[in-house]
Structure 1
Amino acid sequence: MSLPSGLTLTDLSDYLAPSQACIKPVTYIPEESDSTALDKPSASAGAEIIIGDDSGFYEKGKDGEKGKKLKKAEITLNDCLACSGCITSAESVLVSMQSHEEVYRVLREQPDLAPILSVSPQSVASLAALYDLSLAETMRGLRMFFKQHLGFRLVFDTTFPRALSLLESRSELHERRSNYYASPSPSLPSLLTASTSSLAAPTKLSPASSSIAPLPILSSACPGWICYAEKTHGDLLPFVSGVKSPQAVAGVLVKGAVVAGRLGLRPDQVYHVAVMPCYDKKLEASRPDFATTHQPPTFADGTEPVSVGDVDLVLTTGEVAKMIADKGLSLRALAATGEAGKFDGRAEEQYFPFSQLLDPPRGTSSGSYVHAALSSLLSPPSTPDSPSTSRAPTISRSDWPFLRLDSKLVRNDDYVEYTLRRVSCPYSPSSADSATESGDVLVKAAKCYGFRNLQNVVRKLSREAGITVGRGAAGKAPASSAAAAANARRAAKLAGGGAKETKVEPMIEFVEVMACPSGCVNGGGQAAPPRESLRARKRRLSWTGAEGEGFVGRVDEEGMPDTVGEVVEAEIKIVANQDAGKAAAGEGTGVGSDEDRVLSAKEWVQEVEKRYWSGSTTDDRPRRVGIDIDSIHPSIRPFVLALPSAEEEDALARVLEEMLGDDDGAGRDKRRKELLRTSYRAVESEEVNGLAVTW
């Protein structure tokens, strides 16, 4: 099995070696008469186990004889989250219930369910690069495959759920800023205590507490980073955003009033499958915290509310490529033969008012969370809920011509700091702008991709917050209490400690965090970099859908990218022999063009990135957001253009109204957070027996 590059972490293995075998070997099966034993897993934690002659596991009796035979445990994704071993690639061993085979089984055995699919834009870009298609063609081919060949009812892209997630992220940022700057001398340790004091351990963040949690906000759309934080940096979880990822928000929409309600279905009658660029998204889907209780009038028949998982199953990009090829089909042929209008998303537009697949928000290809945060500060809510005593810097439209934004690479392209300044003179296209012009720093933000960069952010934040990051769950003993005390003294000094007031440069208030270097376009579940050129891929019979000839972007039986398959090697040799024969006959082979280059892994990520932005148009964006773009400095324009247009704001407001139903006032705010935010928990201890690990 060939593993994707990138996801490694110092002092932490990225592969499940034999010495790190899962620590849940058996499951205790109580006698049928013992009705309470199922609720007492600790009973098995203290049991002594012996291995019989048949290699089976038995509970040891009083006199050493074999007792009750124990059933071999089935490891679930939730067990994986409580494990102290792998974080990324090795989870593929544990995802039998999150595979394409499971999709086939559910579709075959549960025909009463209504299957609905959500596809991430990063997955669309990866498949578009693999098959040399446009984003629109790729999405049309996917719709035709899943609807016509598998029977899915609707196929959405997740750009509208992402817009809703970004909208909630903006609200959370303004809530936290209001709370943070309400105090004359905001202190991170005191804010940490206030935001977690009412929570039952081991919960470190809840939908309600995310509003009063401290700054900076660490984005939460990446489940790899969340898994790592819960295992090793539990005390920093209050800094994490409580907003659900686009995948989860799509589930809230699909199983709630917006889609299921309009279709006259209960949430548990919908089978929601998501296509994502990351294997860790399978873990996210399995978490009980990503479940939503849908209230009436969601139900057409007036039955009681029920809590359902936002997403039932996650497929990776590579697994989708395998599914298409297993049917003897070609994505290119599917995109070309689809009936006009039937697979162009018109049915989906009735539920999701707009798609940003061809016009993604300016910023990063991982969702543009940092750009959305900075953009929201350029245009704060019309009725801010911040107290009048808040010292939070405010910005109005009249300030835009005076703003400048500096971006600084720290160590590499995957860590960038943004500094928003206000200068004394407004921008004018006819006047020279001094690059050295200084001004007051209003706010800072950052983009942090990859675990190496992330660890530096975590260390700095833990020092400022006055806490010590425990690393026991990752295989190291936690730091000493003396180190914790030293960090607390350092944090008190940074907070001022009652000393005379000095001008302190604003802290970083928002960090877009992704586990993968280069972000989501380089996710571990994306199509692997092809080992042949585009011209060679075009000559494969599988390019047009011939069955049994292998396919572009192979994955192995576990759904992991397979770059050394025998079929691939054979096809490479065949193409090479064909070119050699043409050259010997004096025929041109076209060698030397871009189609003949075999891209490196880094070049392949750049190609996927290029496809992601390939549909972007900027011609009418200034008009749609209603601004005079020429009066704003070029460094500010991308962030202004990232603001939702009036039409998009209206569409988002309409969908929110439908989601929230008749709730109003405080109940409305609470319900919105229940739907769009989630909880995070720390792994409290590391025990020898996995059944005793608590969150």
Structure 2
Amino acid sequence: MSAILSADDLNDFISPGVACIKPVETLPAAPEQPKENELEHEVVIDGQYPAPSTDAPAQISLTDCLACSGCVTSAEAVLVSLQSHNELLSVLDQAPALQIRRNDADGTIKVEGLENPDSKLFVASVSPQTRASLAAAAGHGVTKRDAGRMITQLLAGCDGLKAGGKWNNAFTWIADTNAARTACLVLGAEEATGDSKLAKPILTSSCPGWVCYAEKTHPYVLPHISKIKSPQALMGTLLKTTLSRTLGISPDRIWHLAVMPCFDKKLEASREELTDTIWNGNGQPGRGVRDVDCVITSKEILMLTESRGLDFFNLSRESIPVSSRMPFPDPVMEEFIFSSSKSGRPDPAASTSGGNLYYTLQYVASRHPGSRIETTRGRNVDVAEFSVVSASGAIIFKAARYYGFRNIQNLVRKLKPARPSRMPGARAVGASRKAAGKTAGSEYHYVEVMACPGGCTNGGGQIKVDDPIIVERKGSGLKPGPQEQKQWLAEVDEAYFSADDSELESNEGSAQTQVGRSDLVGDISPSYIRDTLAHWSRITSIDIDRLVSTNYREVISDVGKSKMNDTERVVQLASKIGGGW
């Protein structure tokens, strides 16, 4: 596990104030059994089932958390430990990087260094939430765009990683996950409004903490979860398939780093569904080459610079000169990844989690002229309902937003199907909560679900106000409290939603020259996305559904069961190292 991961950082799977699922042999005396219509392995809110006063509280350590299938299994802990800034530096120092050379005369591209089997082509993708977190940490008027350039200078610039290490290796291409995000938004909207076989309501799948929770504790919601990959996963597939096909190299020679706001993204990168065995259609499941080889978080960017003796906040905010950039092998995909991915000022109504719900609402409204979007606030700021209402007042589409595990628990309870009673003629168990034989959550068409309260800018891997580097930079000398953290998150959100004038002008020109479509929904053209994805499918000779879709499955919990012996554990971990959960 990354050295900077602490119990306080686990709010991207278990929010503060929520107790872990503890193996039964270490729990105090069992409290009163929950009613049969409650969840079997539900996360228990502190104080919900009070233990007898004679027993000491159960002590939950980080080791317990990582050993429990309620959260992260020991096998997953090993996989996550392989993804850190130290692992990144180790891979960079293994061998000289593969070099891309372009013949100016005929435009042909040649890969040099393939004779060394340890040499890799290094590529990276960076999330906008990470850029916002680092911009807030830098302060002094640093924008999200500036932070993105500083990350690029670190990964590819002459004064960054390239200035040190055994081989002076650096990353050849650094992409913005906003490109994959735009594709995910269009694909998700089409899935939510088309003839999808998914059960209603469709639940978003871009949050790996939520997906992990559903697979391990509430498998009955899996038929509801969107099959569209997350932006991280889609960007990994896009980079590895395009580069391996156009450069004629094996995908295992391409090493992809993702910089994300969330520790759970490390778990997502380890899924066997997100390997080349799926899109290549060969090899053994679980033994494939991952689409994302390593995930580091916003915090780990600072540790990465410190490990190389660099100061992230002193890195240049200028773009790397065009003369130093290597053109992407395919011009259409280059336009999509490195031009159309430039984001302007996001709409605060879209939230800080990518805007799946907001774009889908806009997409539905665009197909019904005269319609409007209405919002109803929920019981707290992380719950809201939305309706697309026609000009005549009829509800066309109903959706909701549920952020944070306390709110997610309420959602999954609503979706739990009634169980038939064993007594002849008796009402189904839980049927009193259902209307007309339907689950209580089925009035929605679509629900955006995120594990972190407040959304992805509050991810567990984001920089916090009480992190030593922030305390030192602020110079207060006092340990910040909850109110200071709230103010800090407001600063991160402000950085996420901001854009300077030059960036907006650049994006306006990009939209006109690169997209040039009349069917814009928000600032995204669905026809442009579909044409680009069709081109991607053609150059890779892979069906588009295999490229953009994924699957989920129930994970059987081992909570309270006998532990494996050492031999069984070694066998399990050995099978997992190949690339799967």
Q: Verify same fold: TM over 0.5.
A: yes
Partner of 1:136: 145
Map 1:378-417; keep pairs closer than 5 Å.
378-379=365-366, 395-396=367-368, 399-400=369-370, 403-417=371-385
Could you say what the CA RMSD is over the residues aligned between the two structures, in angstroms? 4.5
Confirm whether residue 115 of structure 1 aligns to residue 114 of structure 2: no
* Corresponding residue for residue 161 of structure 1: 180
Query: What is the aligned partner in structure 2 of residue 233 from structure 1?
Result: 218
Q: How does 1:193-212 map to 2 (within 5 A)?
A: 211-212=196-197
Equivalent residue number for residue 610 of structure 1: 494
Query: Once the 2 structures are TM-superposed, how far is the Cα of residue 273 of structure 1 from its aligned partner?
Result: 0.8
Which of 277, 294, 312 is matched with 2:293 structurally?
A: 312
Secondary structure at the aligned position of 1:98 is classed as coil
Q: C-alpha deviations, 1:658-677, integer Å up to 9, x for none? A: 234486xxxx8xx2222111
Q: Tell me the residue number matched to 2:550.
A: 678
Is 2:8–2:16's contact at 8 Å kept on the other side of the alignment?
no
Distance 2:173 2:268 in 1: 22
Number of the residue aligned with 1:335: 316
Q: Distance in 2 between matches of 1:645 and 1:102?
A: 37
Q: Does 1:363 align with 2:370?
A: no
Inter-CA distance 247–481: structure 2 relative to 1 (3 Å threshold): farther
1:324 maps to 305
User: Which residue of 2 is the match for residue 433 of structure 1?
Assistant: none
Structure-to-structure mapping, 1:168-179, within 5 angstroms: 168-175=187-194, 178=195
Q: Give the % identical residues.
A: 34
**Counterpart-to-counterpart distance in 2, 1:487 and 1:87:** 30
The aligned counterpart of 1:650 is 528
- Which 10-residue stretch deviates more, 80-89 or 408-417? 80-89
Mapped to 2, the partners of 1:138 and 1:358 lie a distance apart of 15
Alignment counterpart, residue 375 of structure 1, candidates 362, 374, 378 = 362
C-alpha deviation, 1:233, in angstroms: 0.3
Contact 1:415–1:453, Cα closer than 8 Å, also in 2 = yes
Residue in structure 2 matching 1:659, options 534, 537, 541: 537
The alpha carbon displacement at 1:332 in A equals: 3.6
Counterpart code for 1:290: L
Per the alignment, do residues 247 and 214 of structure 1 end up closer, same or farther by CA in structure 2, a change over 3 Å counting? same
- Match of 2:9, as an amino acid? P
Whether 1:147 aligns to 2:147 is: no
**Contact 1:16 1:85 (8 Å CA) reproduced:** no
How far apart in 2 are the matches of 1:160 and 1:615?
Answer: 17
Q: In the TM superposition, what whole-angstrom CA distance separates every residue of 1:5-64 from its partner, at most 9, and x where no partner exists?
A: 8442776418999959xxxxxxxxxxxxxxxxxxxxxxxxxxxxxxxxxxxxxxxxxxxx
Supply the distance in 2 between the matched residues of 1:378 and 1:83 (Cα, whole angstroms): 44
Deviates more, 1:334-343 or 1:403-412: 334-343
Alpha-carbon distance in 2 for matches of 1:118, 1:412: 33
Structure 1 segment 283-322 matched on structure 2, within 5 A: 283-293=267-277, 307-322=288-303
Of 648-657 and 507-516, the range deviating more from structure 2: 648-657
Sort the Cα spacing of 1:140 and 1:685 in 2 relative to 1 into closer, same or farther, 3 A.
closer
Q: Which has the larger radius of gyration?
A: 1
The 1:356–1:495 alpha-carbon spacing in structure 2 relative to 1, beyond 3 Å, is same
Q: Equivalents in 2 of 1:374, 1:2: separation in Å?
A: 37
Report the equivalent of 1:451. Answer: 405
Corresponding residue number in structure 1 for 2:395:
441
Correspondence for 2:164:
none
In the alignment, which of 508, 522, 538 is matched to residue 444 of structure 2?
508
Change in 2 beyond 3 A, CA 1:601/1:9: closer
The structure-2 alpha-carbon separation of the partners of 1:679 and 1:91, relative to structure 1 and needing over 3 Å to count, comes to closer
Contact 1:4–1:528 under 8 Å retained in 2: no
CA distance in 2, matches of 1:491, 1:614: 44
> What are the equivalent positions in structure 2 for 1:211-290 lying under 5 Å apart?
211-257=196-242, 259-290=243-274
CA shift for structure 1 position 308: 2.3
Q: 1:493 aligned to 431, 436, 455, which one?
A: 436
CA distance, structure 2, for counterparts of residue 16 and residue 104 of structure 1: 37
The range that moved more, 361-370 or 345-354, is 345-354
C-alpha distance in 1, partners of 2:246/2:399? 40
Letter of the 1:355 partner, please give it.
Answer: S
> Structure 1 residues 505 and 134 mapped into 2: Cα distance closer, same or farther (>3 Å)?
closer
What are the Cα deviations for residues 591-632 of structure 1, in whole angstroms up to 9, with x where unaligned?
Answer: xxxxx999711111111111011018889979979999xxxx
Output the CA distance in 2 between the equivalents of 1:527 and 1:330: 16
SS in 1 for 2:340: coil
Counterpart amino acid of residue 354 in structure 1: S
The answer to whether the 8 Å contact 2:375/2:385 transfers is yes
Conservation of the 8 A alpha-carbon contact between 1:135 and 1:357: no
Query: What corresponds to 1:44 in structure 2?
Result: none
Give the CA deviation at 1:137: 1.4
After the TM superposition, which residues 181-196 of structure 1 pair with which residues of structure 2 at under 5 Å, given as runs? none
CA distance in 2: counterparts of 1:292 and 1:509, whole angstroms: 32
TM-score relative to the length of structure 2: 0.70
SS in 2 for 1:308: coil
Cα distance in 2, alignment partners of residues 265 and 523 from structure 1? 35
Gaps spanning 5+ residues in structure 1: where? 21-76, 179-210, 299-305, 380-394, 425-438, 469-479, 497-503, 532-550, 554-562, 576-595, 629-639
Aligned residue in 2 for 1:55: none
Cα distance per residue 1:493-512 (max 9 Å; x no partner): 3459xxxxxxx998211111
Q: Counterparts of 1:56-75 in structure 2 under 5 Å?
A: none
Deviation of the 1:374 alpha carbon: 1.3
- Which amino acid is the alignment partner of residue 86 of structure 1? C
* Deviation (angstroms), 1:683: 2.1
Q: Which residue number corresponds to residue 91 of structure 2?
A: 106
| Pairs aligned (count) | 473
Q: Secondary structure at the match of 2:122?
A: strand
Q: How far apart are residue 84 of structure 1 and its match?
A: 2.6
Equivalent residues of 2:346, 2:498 under 8 A apart: no
Cα distance between partner residues in 2 of 1:167 and 1:654:
12
The range that moved more, 160-169 or 610-619, is 610-619
Q: Distance in 1 between matches of 2:24 and 2:325?
A: 46
Q: CA offsets, 1:44-95, max 9 Å, x none?
A: xxxxxxxxxxxxxxxxxxxxxxxxxxxxxxxxx9x99994343599987873
* CA distance in 2: counterparts of 1:612 and 1:88, whole angstroms: 33
How do residues 5-154 of structure 1 correspond to structure 2 at under 5 angstroms?
6=11, 7-8=14-15, 12-13=19-20, 19=26, 83-86=68-71, 95-111=80-96, 112-132=119-139, 133-148=142-157, 149-150=160-161, 151-154=170-173
* Aligned equivalents of 2:246, 2:133: Cα separation in 1: 32
Q: List alignment gaps of at least 5 residues for structure 2.
A: 1-5, 28-62, 97-118, 162-169, 282-286
1:122-163 deviation per Cα after TM superposition (whole angstroms, max 9, x unaligned): 001100111021122111111111113331111111000111
Which residue does 2:465 correspond to in 1?
529
